[in-house]
Amino acid sequence: MSTHRFYTTPVDEVTWDVPMTGDARFTWEYDEGREKLLALYQKGKDKQWDSVKRIDWDIEVDPYDPLGMPDQSLAIYGTKHWEKMGERERKQVRHHAATWQFSQFLHGEQGAMITGARIVETVPDLDAKLYSATQTMDEARHVEIFTRFLHEKLGMVYPINGKLQDLLGETLGDSRWDMPYLGMQVLIEGLALAAFGVIRDVSTKPLPKQILAYVMQDEARHVAFGRLALRDYYAQLSAAELREREDFVIEGCYLMRDRLRGVEIWENFGIPRAEAQEMLKDSPYIRMFQSLLFSRIVPCVKDIGLWSDRIRQAYDDMGVLEMSKGDLDALMRQDEEIAEQIEVERFATEEAERRREVDEVIAEAASSS
């Protein structure tokens, strides 16, 4: 079944071709490896899982309230447009908002899958190639999961946001082997992890909570991988080379803050783009959400050694400099623990339900004898 039938607006191109630059690198050193990276590779192998079996796809989802998020999370809430709407149109708004968000997750995960394969090809060290191969499989699983959720549960897909596409293009089109790490592992994955976490923690619906918790368990390893590899490499770079990476980070962070807002949702409800942009800028929830999106990025940028006065000034201007004090390791441990807890609770509930059914059958048999 073609995804094109689900898109809210027609997608002209069947594929998006990004010109590839840079070298494919072989290494003939098969013994050397960084202990921490090889341990992460082992963890990546141990933690592989099957989304068909692990996720309970039988859970029903109301497409008009798929996430159970409060209406205050909608940029349109409290505006004149919201007040004019009846409940039927408000249901459509909830449907479109969730679909836009999960569609961008889907497109970003495809970008991560391609970037993982790109890193395998271009990175010079074998330990990094080995780990990135496990990440590529993780990202393939995430693409599978978000595709199924959008197709089967929401019945709608939004095209990729233009600014996300620009950032993916810049990440993949750079000939330097470390740039896919920086663009994907630090910026795009960091942004996605924070967005996943907000929805995971606020959503009252079991299926999206499961999906996001399990995906975040994988993503915690991916960000750790980027930190390890880039921290070592950036310690060797000249001031001029570091400045080029800082420019990329600053530009990318402003782009994500100012552009990844979902204006296209509101255009589908007849709100002109300029008015939608003002509405998004004025929304208290959107402002809070956008600041939270940097909770993983800022401490990671600091950790890998891109922490000049220019970087700090940019983050101060964005109002997110305080997030540099965040404990990234603690956040990652929490992501793993939440996924494990959701799994324990889920299977405990299922076991209790099975026992209840058995007890009912036994009681019924006893009463009829």
Q: Is 176 among the domain residues?
A: yes
- Give CA torsion, residues 292, 297, 298, 299, to 10 deg: 110
Question: Taking the CA atoms of the chain, what radius of gyration do you get in angstroms?
Answer: 22
Domain count along the chain: 1
Residue 339 lies in a domain: no
Residue 308 lies in a domain: yes
Helix then strand then coil, % of the chain, to nearest 5: 70, 0, 25
Q: Is residue 246 part of a domain?
A: yes
pLDDT for residue 284: 85
Query: Which region holds residue 68: left if phi is over 0, alpha if psi is between -120 and 50, else beta?
Result: left
Q: Which domain holds residue 133?
A: 3-9+35-331
Residue 149 lies in a domain: yes
State both tokens at 307.
């922490």
b vs e for 325-349, b when ≥16 Cβ sit within 10 Å of the residue's Cβ?
ebebeebbeebbebbeebeeebeee
Lookup result for tokens 């909770």: 295
The DSSP letter of residue 154 is I
CATH of the domain at 261: 1.10.620.20
Average pLDDT, the chain: 89
Q: Are 146 and 106 in contact (CB under 8 A)?
A: yes
Residue 51 lies in a domain: yes
Task: Give Cα 151 to chain centroid, integer Å.
Answer: 18
pLDDT, tens only, 96-154: 999 999 999 999 999 999 999 999 999 999 999 999 999 999 999 999 999 999 999 99
Q: Is residue 337 part of a domain?
A: no
Question: What is the distance between the terminal CA atoms of the chain, rounded to a whole angstrom?
Answer: 53
Which residues face 157 on adjacent strands? 7
Cα angle: 32, vertex 37, 43; to 5 degrees: 125
Q: What is the pLDDT of residues 165-210, one digit of tens each?
A: 988 888 888 888 899 889 988 998 888 888 899 999 999 999 999 9
Domain assignment present for residue 86? The answer is yes
Measured CA to CA, the distance from residue 4 to residue 97 in angstroms comes to 19
Does position 358 have pLDDT exceeding 70, yes or no? no
Region 313-334: what's the mean pLDDT?
A: 91
